């Protein structure tokens, strides 16, 4: 019997084969090929790490103002203090008085003279040789030391299997032709070089990833991306989907007449793009982007109507119960008068209701189906699903989109898919994640929207805020009060929400105050939301459950408590709940002091702009793009070493090479994809 051992930290990082290790390229380099005297280091190493060595002449542990170790080293030229705020007993021994150590770090001018804080330290003999190559620094997850990764990589580079995994199989002629001017090394040579660059390398080109060795790797990676793009594009066109060619007939016509507004120019444009896709005999795969409040829902409804007019079912899936429910109510309002059966499916339905919903979905009586993840759970299969809309797509994983395709009710066709998102994703960025996705953008808000005024207010002025709220409600308007996000504890979050609810109920005796949070049963949640919508509740105290999609135009004031705890995207989404009616809208961001620098900047940006693109850009620079794209669960981006902005010119070369490879060397295509994308290939199918 073999016992399964737990994966090592390296394996958890996906570094489980020599090839994976070889492709784990450094994020930067340190120069340990040069040794300077202490005097030189003191003179030159401000903000610039340098290496020096000396004998330890003093080593003491202080306990005030906090526990720390101070070590002084000396050479013929000067002495230097090293300060360690965290240290192990082993380090005390390593740096015992009399030992010779080599250290690397930046010197700063502390109040006790020149010092290095937390330098890298090695005990060496005075004449120990310097390294001849730059020292790579690898991307690592917490707890994995550079030493461990370096050792594993060096081991891997010696592995005999590598000469095959990194074999040069692209036709040399092709490489020579596309790279003629650039003088690229062979692949294995390039990889080895990047792990162990010689001391005399052009450091800047290496750091900036413009060195020919980087170029070679980037080219390979882009080539894989271009091939998969072309292939996914071609594969999708070979798949069958029902083509919806009749325009504005029956239900669609009825819907257009029933909605109480004219479509904006941007809505008409994206609807034409989507309509064009739907008329094709292969499945649509389109992302509909539009800022909060830009009116994506009606476009989804039109797409569903068109499918229904052609005798197919349509479904809308949303990530939260509240949002799904809201869609359900809206769709019922729009579609039922037109004689369409709208079904509702969520995890919280009673068993009997669920069975009924599943039966009419499978039997085909339900023509439009709205729901949460429950739509892609075990027992659901559609009779004939022609159109699937996925709202707030970044909340779903790619896998869930594949799931829908497996339930359309026939093996003969695929359904058309439309994802919707309020997060503006630059096209080039989307390309690093999805092989094949069309994008439509609603870049205009419906007319008559009043701009939202955002105020940033100290929590100490809570009473004033409540007084203002009183005046606001007295005008017949409604408001939201959003309770702080407490990531560490849902219980604590609930307590705070209940406390605010009680306080506001007491403070505003003439108005009805409601409370909605994630712990409520879905009927209870629905009842509160319905009462708020009907203006039976004037002030809705809520946790972030109302973050996405909720739509009550008469509620034009939102107070957010502890706004400093929320991220950009969350506040932007929350704030998007107001500014939907005819009243001037206000969003009050209350914050508690002390405010971190980052939080101060965030609140300031949010006060200055409501432009989703500006906010997304700021956000993007803080968080990785994976989170914005909903790719978190599905592995890495296709491009690890390419920066589409910096390396744009390489794309053309890769495109040309991809075309030639597909045309002349089909046998190599699979091998190339396998090498570069490996396990990621599956998720490109979505």
Measure the CA–CA gap between 338 and 336, rounded to whole angstroms.
5
How does DSSP classify residue 503?
H
Q: Cβ distance 285 to 390 under 8 Å?
A: no
The minimum distance between CB 632 and ligand ADP, in angstroms, equals: 22
How does DSSP classify residue 197?
-
Q: Which is nearer to Mg ion, 301 or 650 (CB)?
A: 301
293 binds, among ligand ADP, Mg ion, none (CB under 5 to 8 A by kind): ligand ADP
The minimum distance between CB 8 and ligand ADP, in angstroms, equals: 45
State the binding string over 607-626 for Mg ion (x if CB under 5 A, else -).
--------------------
The minimum distance between CB 547 and ligand ADP, in angstroms, equals: 12
Q: Cβ distance 309 to 302 under 8 Å?
A: no
The minimum distance between CB 473 and ligand ADP, in angstroms, equals: 21
Q: Which is nearer to ligand ADP, 298 or 541 (CB)?
A: 298
Q: Which is nearer to ligand ADP, 292 or 315 (CB)?
A: 292
Residue 420 buriedness (CB in 10 A; 0-12 / 13-18 / 19+): buried
Q: Which is nearer to ligand ADP, 289 or 496 (CB)?
A: 289
14 binds, among ligand ADP, Mg ion, none (CB under 5 to 8 A by kind): none
**Window 494-553: residues binding Mg ion (CB under 5 A):** 549
Binding region for ligand ADP (CB under 6 A): 261-264, 267, 290, 292-298, 422, 446, 549, 551, 553, 580
Q: Which is nearer to Mg ion, 190 or 369 (CB)?
A: 369
Q: Cβ distance 280 to 243 under 8 Å?
A: yes
Find the largest Cα–Cα distance for the chain.
Answer: 93
Measure the CA–CA gap between 207 and 276, rounded to whole angstroms.
46
- In sequence order, which ranges of 279-369 are alpha helices (DSSP H)? 296-309, 321-335, 351-363
The minimum distance between CB 338 and ligand ADP, in angstroms, equals: 17
Residue 37 buriedness (CB in 10 A; 0-12 / 13-18 / 19+): middle
Q: Which is nearer to ligand ADP, 14 or 446 (CB)?
A: 446
Residue 88 buriedness (CB in 10 A; 0-12 / 13-18 / 19+): exposed
- How many CB atoms sit inside 10 A of residue 123's CB? 14
Token digits of residue 84: 């360690």
Q: Which is nearer to ligand ADP, 95 or 452 (CB)?
A: 452
Q: Which is nearer to Mg ion, 283 or 549 (CB)?
A: 549
The minimum distance between CB 535 and ligand ADP, in angstroms, equals: 15
397 binds, among ligand ADP, Mg ion, none (CB under 5 to 8 A by kind): none
Measure the CA–CA gap between 460 and 473, rounded to whole angstroms.
22
The minimum distance between CB 161 and ligand ADP, in angstroms, equals: 52
Q: Which is nearer to ligand ADP, 442 or 684 (CB)?
A: 442
The minimum distance between CB 590 and ligand ADP, in angstroms, equals: 24
The minimum distance between CB 503 and Mg ion, in angstroms, equals: 31
292 binds, among ligand ADP, Mg ion, none (CB under 5 to 8 A by kind): ligand ADP
**Window 543-582: residues binding Mg ion (CB under 5 A):** 549
Token digits of residue 417: 């898919």
Kindly give, in sequence order, each residue whose CB lies less than 8 Å from that of residue 606, ignoring residues fewer than 6 positions away.
454, 456, 568, 571, 572, 575, 589, 615
Q: Cβ distance 478 to 555 under 8 Å?
A: yes
The minimum distance between CB 298 and Mg ion, in angstroms, equals: 10
Measure the CA–CA gap between 65 and 537, rounded to whole angstroms.
55
Tokens 């965290």 belong to residue? 86
Q: Which is nearer to ligand ADP, 100 or 269 (CB)?
A: 269
Q: Which is nearer to ligand ADP, 289 or 417 (CB)?
A: 289
Strand order in the sheet with 513-516: 452-458, 585-591, 555-560, 478-482, 539-542, 513-516
Measure the CA–CA gap between 625 and 637, rounded to whole angstroms.
9
Measure the CA–CA gap between 464 and 514, rounded to whole angstroms.
21
End-to-end CA distance of the chain: 39
Task: Please count the residues of this chain forming the interface with Mg ion, following the rule CB under 5 A.
Answer: 1
Residue in the shown chain whose Cβ atom is closest to ligand ADP: 295
Tokens 């870049």 belong to residue? 443
580 binds, among Mg ion, ligand ADP, none (CB under 5 to 8 A by kind): ligand ADP
Bridge partners (DSSP) of residue 457 are: 590
446 binds, among ligand ADP, Mg ion, none (CB under 5 to 8 A by kind): ligand ADP
Q: Which is nearer to ligand ADP, 23 or 418 (CB)?
A: 418
The minimum distance between CB 337 and ligand ADP, in angstroms, equals: 16
Measure the CA–CA gap between 611 and 544, rounded to whole angstroms.
21
The minimum distance between CB 264 and ligand ADP, in angstroms, equals: 4
- Measured in whole angstroms, the distance separating CA 401 from the mean position of its chain's CA atoms is 17
**In sequence order, what DSSP letters do the residues of 604-633 get, joined into one string?**
HHHHH---HHHHHHHHHHHS-HHHHHT-GG
Token digits of residue 588: 């009050």
- Measured in whole angstroms, the distance separating CA 122 from the mean position of its chain's CA atoms is 39
228 binds, among Mg ion, ligand ADP, none (CB under 5 to 8 A by kind): none
Residue 1 buriedness (CB in 10 A; 0-12 / 13-18 / 19+): exposed
How does DSSP classify residue 435?
S
The minimum distance between CB 533 and ligand ADP, in angstroms, equals: 11
Q: Which is nearer to ligand ADP, 56 or 300 (CB)?
A: 300
Q: Which is nearer to Mg ion, 185 or 293 (CB)?
A: 293
The minimum distance between CB 297 and Mg ion, in angstroms, equals: 5
Tokens 């009927």 belong to residue? 523
- The binding site for Mg ion (CB under 5 A) comprises 549
């Amino acid at each position: 019997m073999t016992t399964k051992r737990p994966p090592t930290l390296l394996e958890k990082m996906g570094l489980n084969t020599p090839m994976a290790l070889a492709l784990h390229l450094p994020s930067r380099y340190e120069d340990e090929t040069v040794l300077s005297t202490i005097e030189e280091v003191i003179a030159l190493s401000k903000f610039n790490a340098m290496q020096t060595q000396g004998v330890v002449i003093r080593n003491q542990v202080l306990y005030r103002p906090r526990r720390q170790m101070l070590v002084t080293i000396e050479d013929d030229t000067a002495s230097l203090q090293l300060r360690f705020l965290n240290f192990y007993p082993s380090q005390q021994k390593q740096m015992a008085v009399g030992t010779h150590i080599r250290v690397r770090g930046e010197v700063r001018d502390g109040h006790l003279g020149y010092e290095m804080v937390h330098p890298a330290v090695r005990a060496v003999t005075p004449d120990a040789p310097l390294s001849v190559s730059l020292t790579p620094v690898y991307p690592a997850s917490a707890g994995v030391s550079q030493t461990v990764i370096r050792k594993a990589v060096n081991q891997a580079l010696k592995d005999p299997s590598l000469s095959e995994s990194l074999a040069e199989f692209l036709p040399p002629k092709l490489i020579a032709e596309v790279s003629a001017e650039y003088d690229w090394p062979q692949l294995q040579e390039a990889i080895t070089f990047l792990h162990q660059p010689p001391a005399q390398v052009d450091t800047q080109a290496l750091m900036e990833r413009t060195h020919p060795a980087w170029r070679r790797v980037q080219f390979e990676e882009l080539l894989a991306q271009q091939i998969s793009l072309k292939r996914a594009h071609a594969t999708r066109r070979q798949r069958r989907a029902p083509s919806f060619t009749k325009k504005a007939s029956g239900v669609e016509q009825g819907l257009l007449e029933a909605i109480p507004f004219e479509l904006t120019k941007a809505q008409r444009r994206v609807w034409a793009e989507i309509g064009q896709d739907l008329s094709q005999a292969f499945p649509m795969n389109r992302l509909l982007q539009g800022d909060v409040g830009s009116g994506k829902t009606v476009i989804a409804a039109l797409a569903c109507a068109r499918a229904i007019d052609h005798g197919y079912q349509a479904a809308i899936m949303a990530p939260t119960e509240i949002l799904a429910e809201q869609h359900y109510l809206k769709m019922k309002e729009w579609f039922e008068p037109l004689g369409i059966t709208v079904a509702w499916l969520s995890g919280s339905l009673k068993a009997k209701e669920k069975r009924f919903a599943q039966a009419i979905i499978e039997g085909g009586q339900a023509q439009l189906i709205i729901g949460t993840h429950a739509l892609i759970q075990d027992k659901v299969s559609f009779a004939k699903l022609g159109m699937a809309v996925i709202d707030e797509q970044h909340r779903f994983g790619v896998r869930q989109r594949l799931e829908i395709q497996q339930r359309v009710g026939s093996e003969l066709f695929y359904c058309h898919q439309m994802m919707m998102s309020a997060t503006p994703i630059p096209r080039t960025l989307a390309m690093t994640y999805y092989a094949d996705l069309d994008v439509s953008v609603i870049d205009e808000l419906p007319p008559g929207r009043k701009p939202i005024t955002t105020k940033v207010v100290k929590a100490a002025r809570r009473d004033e805020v409540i007084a203002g709220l009183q005046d606001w409600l007295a005008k017949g308007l409604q408001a939201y009060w959003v309770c702080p996000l407490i990531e560490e504890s849902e219980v604590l979050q609930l307590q705070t929400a209940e406390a605010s609810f009680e306080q506001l109920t007491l403070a505003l005796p003439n108005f009805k105050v409601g409370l909605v949070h994630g712990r409520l049963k879905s009927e209870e949640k629905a009842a509160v939301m319905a009462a708020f919508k009907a203006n039976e509740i004037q002030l809705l105290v809520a946790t972030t459950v109302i973050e996405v999609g909720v739509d009550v135009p008469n509620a034009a004031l939102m107070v957010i408590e502890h706004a400093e705890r929320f991220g950009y995207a969350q506040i932007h989404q929350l704030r998007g709940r107001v500014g939907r009616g005819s009243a001037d809208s206000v969003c009050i961001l209350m914050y508690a002091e002390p405010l971190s620098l980052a939080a101060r900047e965030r609140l300031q940006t949010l006060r200055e702009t409501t432009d989703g693109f500006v906010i997304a850009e700021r956000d993007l620079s803080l968080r990785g793009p994976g989170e914005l794209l909903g790719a978190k669960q599905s592995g890495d981006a296709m491009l690890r070493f390419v920066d589409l902005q910096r390396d744009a010119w390489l794309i053309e070369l890769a495109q040309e090479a991809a075309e030639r490879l597909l045309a002349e060397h089909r046998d190599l295509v699979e091998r190339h994809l396998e090498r570069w994308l490996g396990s990621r290939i599956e998720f490109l199918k979505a």
